[in-house]
Structure 1
Amino acid sequence: MVLYSESPTPSIRPARSADLPAIAAIFAHYVETSVVTFEETPPTAADWADKLAGLHDRGLPFLVADTAGTVAGYAYAAPWRPKPAYRHTAENTVYLSPAHTGRGLGRTLMAALIDACAAAGVRQLVAVVVDDGAGTSPSLALHRALGFAEAGRLTAVGHKHGRWLDTVLLQRAV
């Protein structure tokens, strides 16, 4: 009889095409049930394929946390702005499967993403995090724990699920 079982340690690796349906499903959950993204329609796996290819072409990282063959979460860095002078600044994104939250996986993914960004020549990372209004955002706590500092707040810039929402801009050197 097994009294206690830990889930396997996740491996962090580059995302690949076979991961995209799981990535799409993870993100769809947040689009449909939360305010942590301002997307209102979940992107398809084909949309994610375009994103993966675009980031790969730019030399930017797109990582997944793989737990026993299951995508438990993902993180990527995308261009912050399209103007050429911003080419060394990226915006980070991290999402976890709801079944894999609260175990330190977000921190593991983000630490790997920061390292991969450094290797890719990124000098600054920017995070745009929705403030839930209650001051309990796990994403804000994660970013602050990893050395991101608040760089600004945009008040009532998003409207989703009947609520006006702020975003907090955070930044850190890589």
Structure 2
Amino acid sequence: MRPELRENKGTEHVGEQEFVRHGPVIRIVPARGKHCRSIGRRMRASDVTEVWRSGRVGPVEALRRSMRQSTAFTVLIDGRPEIMYGVGDLNVLAGVGGVWLLGTDAITRNWRWFLRATAEGLPGLFTRHEVLRNAVDRENAASLRWLEWLGAAFLMEIDVHGHPFVLFEMRKRRDV
């Protein structure tokens, strides 16, 4: 009989066999202020550059502002805050929300999990909105590739504080 699989470290004994589980323990929890400090101090360089160019703020303040203006969550990897994301209202009447995600280099270290989790979790972000939008720094090649992989449509290039950003949107999928 196969043992129950959990995202967990450790050894499990089943009959005469020993199963060693690999990989980090990953939990998603409501975002809290202390997560902003932890992630902000270790934020990946491309995100630090992007938040400065877009809002003229540092990483911790960018996370705090984003968290206050949205429904936000933190991804804990082995108990440590590594990623924060959320969705806020841009235009409630039109059903448009602003989606965002900022994180540490744990995204790169756990890229397989990250891709799978973001693809599987994307439909859950459309609870209040039909369309999710934001802008990404044109020089942030990894984020652009990831957004394209998720199915984002790139609408136009815009200028934000003298830097080129790309406006993108994702639409709620309708099952037929």
Output the TM-score relative to the length of structure 2: 0.66
Deviations 1:72-97 (A, max 9, x none): 1111112225xx534x2111111120
Bigger radius of gyration: 2
Distance in 1 between residues matched to 2:66 and 2:163, nearest whole Å? 26
Change (3 A) 1:6 1:47: closer
Distance in 2 between residues matched to 1:65 and 1:127, nearest whole Å? 21
Change (3 A) 1:113 1:12: same
Percent identity of the aligned residues? Answer: 15
How many residue pairs get aligned? The number is: 150
The answer to whether residue 151 in structure 2 is matched with residue 144 in structure 1 is no
Change (3 A) 1:29 1:137: closer
Of the candidates 50, 75, 78, which is equivalent to residue 68 of structure 1?
Answer: 78
Deviations 1:13-63 (A, max 9, x none): 32134423223334595575x246523331656981x653443xxxxx312
Q: What code does the residue aligned with 2:56 have?
A: E
Change (3 A) 1:104 1:12: farther
- Runs of 4 or more, structure 1, over 3 Å off, are 26-32, 43-47, 50-54, 104-113
Distance in 2 between residues matched to 1:104 and 1:110, nearest whole Å? 10
Distance in 1 between residues matched to 2:39 and 2:129, nearest whole Å? 24
* RMSD (Å), alpha carbons: 3.2
How far 1:138 sits from its partner (Å)? Answer: 0.8
Deviations 1:97-135 (A, max 9, x none): 02442514553564466333223x211011311111xxx
Other-structure match for 1:58: none
How far 1:9 sits from its partner (Å)? Answer: 4.2
Highest RCO, 1 vs 2 (Cα 8 Å, sep ≥ 6): 1
Distance in 2 between residues matched to 1:112 and 1:37, nearest whole Å? 30
Distance in 2 between residues matched to 1:150 and 1:46, nearest whole Å? 23
Q: What code does the residue aligned with 1:76 have?
A: G
